[in-house]
Structure 1
Amino acid sequence: MSKKRGLSLEEKREQILQIFYESQDFFLLKELEKLGPKKGVISQSVKDVVQSLVDDDLVMKDKIGTSVYFWSLPSCAGNQLRNTRTKLESELANCRKRLSELTGQRDNLKKGREESDEREAALEELEAVELQHKKLKEELACYADNDPAALEKMIFLCFFGDITEDATEVAHAAANRWTDNIFTLQQWCSTNFPQAKEQLEHMYKEVGITDDFEYLQ
Structure 2
Amino acid sequence: MSKKKGLSVDEKRKRMMEVFYEKKDVFQLKELEKICPKEKGITPMSVKDILQSLVDDDMVCAEKIGTSNYFWCFPSQAVLSRKRKLEEINTEVEGLKKRKANNGAAIEEAKKLRVEGAERSELLEEIGVKEKMLAAVTNEVLKYKECDPEVLEQKKKEILTSKESINRWTDNIFSVQSWCKNKFSIETKTMCKNFGIPEELDYVE
Q: Report the TM-score when normalising by structure 2.
A: 0.55
Q: Percent identity?
A: 44
Runs of 4+ in structure 1 off by over 6 angstroms are none
Q: Tell me what 2:9 maps to.
A: 9
Q: Go from structure 1 to structure 2 and tell me whether the alpha carbon gap of 1:104 and 1:48 turns closer, same or farther (over 3 Å shift).
A: same
Q: 1:91 to 1:119 in 2, by over 3 A?
A: farther
Partner in structure 2 of residue 48 of structure 1: 49
Please say if 1:82 is aligned against 2:83.
yes
Deviation at 1:124, TM superposition (A): 2.3
Q: Deviations over 1:80-107 (max 9, x none)?
A: 1111111111111111111111101111
Amino acid at match of 2:3: K
Q: Is the CA contact 1:63–1:69 (under 8 Å) kept in the aligned structure 2?
A: yes
Q: In the aligned structure 2, how far is the partner of 1:12 from the partner of 1:60?
A: 17
1:12–1:49: 8 Å Cα contact kept in structure 2? yes
What corresponds to 1:35 in structure 2?
A: 35
Structure 2 partner of 1:109:
110
Report deviation, 1:52.
Answer: 0.7
Displacement of 1:63 after TM fit? Answer: 2.1
**What is the TM-score normalised by the length of structure 1?**
0.52
2:20 and 2:6 map into 1 onto residues whose CA distance is 21
Mapped to 2, the partners of 1:66 and 1:126 lie a distance apart of: 82
Q: CA deviation at 1:32?
A: 0.3
| Structure 1 residue 78: Cα displacement | 1.0
Q: Which residue of 2 aligns with 1:19?
A: 19
Shift of 1:65: 2.8
Deviation at 1:9, TM superposition (A): 1.1
How far the C-alpha of 1:64 sits from its partner, in A, is 2.5
Equivalences for 1:22-171 in 2 at 5 Å?
22-37=22-37, 38-111=39-112, 113=114, 121-124=121-124
Separation of aligned partners in 2, 1:46 and 1:102? 47
**Does structure 2 conserve the Cα–Cα contact (< 8 Å) formed by 1:13 and 1:49?**
yes
One-letter amino acid of the structure 1 residue matched with residue 101 of structure 2: S
**Higher Cα radius of gyration:** 2
Aligned length: 127
* SS of equivalent residue, structure 1 residue 68: strand
Root-mean-square deviation (Å): 2.7
Q: Any idea what SS the aligned residue of 1:27 has? A: coil
Q: CA deviation at 1:22?
A: 0.4
Q: Which runs of 5+ in 2 are unaligned?
A: 129-205
Structure-2 separation of matches of 1:100 and 1:52: 37
Give the Cα separation in 1 of the matches to 2:122 and 2:41. 72
Cα distance per residue 1:99-127 (max 9 Å; x no partner) = 1111011111112659x8x8974452687
